[in-house]
Structure 1
Amino acid sequence: MSYDPNAGYRALQGRVNADTETLLKRFENIAMLAPVENKDKTIAAAEAYQIETHASSMIRAAEDLVALTRQLKEAWLFGQLGGGFEGGTTGADADAVVVGEMLRRRGTERVDSEVVKEKEGGREVVMEG
């Protein structure tokens, strides 16, 4: 059995394709059910239930895409996107250092601004860190 370096790509692309196809098909189904002229209440109620079902399926597909983007962001942040995704990890460590420094600076700026606000409000808060 041979190793496929693009298996990760294929799995992710398959997941994206399946979710986007679900979104598209369900939206088309909702659009087909949308006209309400000359329908009795029973048919309208049944179609309303179908629309709710299609909408919930669309929500699940959208949530899966959001989860996928989160996983990709975390993988990039923690340097796990080497090999099949970037073609190498030569810049991943440098990128991680830059992102870490930006986060550290932003956190420090936020803490410093909170201390200044407390001093201006008449109370001085000592923060240890």
Structure 2
Amino acid sequence: MDPSFRDTASLTAYIDKLRNNLISRFENLVATAAIERTDYNTTSYNALHMKDETAALIRAAEDLLSLTRQMQELWLFGQLDTLGKSVVEEKTEADARRVAELIQTLVRREEVKEGGEAGRR
């Protein structure tokens, strides 16, 4: 995969570009098919234009399929790491464990203080 698509913003922009290209090619094809003039020149021009737009539509679909394939390869060969724990998740769990340990330490100190005060009475 192209290294420039490794972050979310650029990948989303590329997907939008491919989607918009696919939609515009389809709209052009439908608009060309809707022309009702039947003289020889218009008909031959429309046939050629439809052929070009069809080829462009197929190419846009192939580009989208190519991107899908690249993303599947990244996922299968482990570069996306969607199944493992993320660095953020591991750091959050480590922070949560540390906070739990500190709370337990504070609770023990309170118990010792309360026990010490009860013994003095």
Q: With the length of structure 1 as denominator, give the TM-score of the two structures.
A: 0.55
- 1: CA distance between counterparts of 2:78 and 2:51? 40
Matched, 1:79 2:78: yes
Given that 2:37 and 2:43 are in contact with CA atoms closer than 8 Å, whether structure 1 keeps it comes out as: no
Structure with the larger helix share: 2
Q: Normalising to structure 2: TM-score of the pair?
A: 0.59
Distance 1:60 1:38 in 2: 28
Unaligned runs of 5+ in 1: 1-5, 92-129
Aligned to 1:21: 20
Task: Decide which structure has the larger Cα Rg and report it.
Answer: 2
What CA deviation, in whole Å up to 9, does each residue of 1:27-83 have, x standing for no partner? Answer: 11111111354420111111111111111111111111111111111101111114x
Query: Do the aligned partners of residues 7 and 67 (structure 1) sit closer, same or farther apart at CA in structure 2, a change above 3 Å counting?
Result: closer
Cα drift, residue 89 of structure 1: 4.1
**Cα contact 2:25–2:53 (8 A) shared by 1:** yes
Q: CA deviation at 1:7?
A: 5.8
Structure 2 regions of 5+ residues with no counterpart?
87-121
1:90 partner SS:
coil
The alignment-based identity, stated in percent, is 34
Runs of 4+ in 1 over 4 A off after TM superposition: none
Residue 48 (str. 1) matches residue 47 (str. 2): yes
Q: 1:62 is matched with which residue?
A: 61
